[in-house]
Amino acid sequence: MPTEPPLDELLTLDAVLERIKERSGRVIGASTWRSYVAREQAPGPVRRVGRLPFFSPDDIDAWIDNRPGRGNWRTGDTDR
């Protein structure tokens, strides 16, 4: 059985939102983040304590680094 990561190595929702702001300059609200996670457009929590989600810093950093940005979510042919 896999071992759960320790809580002190994970990010709370507030810490995720702050990290996004610090690294990208973009402000994302908690409800927007939750909707991204629900639509699988952002990494989900790796652990929960009660109802509180905790996220992997590596997953969040990878998401920030690979996020296409506002208005650039279209996939497929770019010759339009």
pLDDT along the chain (80 residues), means of 10: 82 98 94 96 96 97 85 51
Distance of alpha carbon 77 from alpha carbon 53, whole angstroms: 36
Q: What is the pLDDT of residue 4?
A: 77
Distance set, CA 12 to CA 1, 31, 61, 80 (Å)? 24, 14, 14, 40
In a domain, 27, yes or no: yes
- Domain count of the fold of the chain: 1
In a domain, 80, yes or no: no
In a domain, 37, yes or no: yes
Q: What is the pLDDT of residue 29?
A: 97
Distance of alpha carbon 30 from alpha carbon 4, whole angstroms: 24
Q: What is the pLDDT of residue 72?
A: 52
In a domain, 59, yes or no: yes
Q: What is the pLDDT of residue 75?
A: 54
Q: Whose structure tokens read 């990290």?
A: 19
Q: What is the pLDDT of residue 80?
A: 44
In a domain, 73, yes or no: no
Q: For the purposes of burial, counting CB atoms within 10 Å of the CB of 55, is it exposed (0-12), middle (13-18) or buried (19 or more)? A: buried
In a domain, 75, yes or no: no
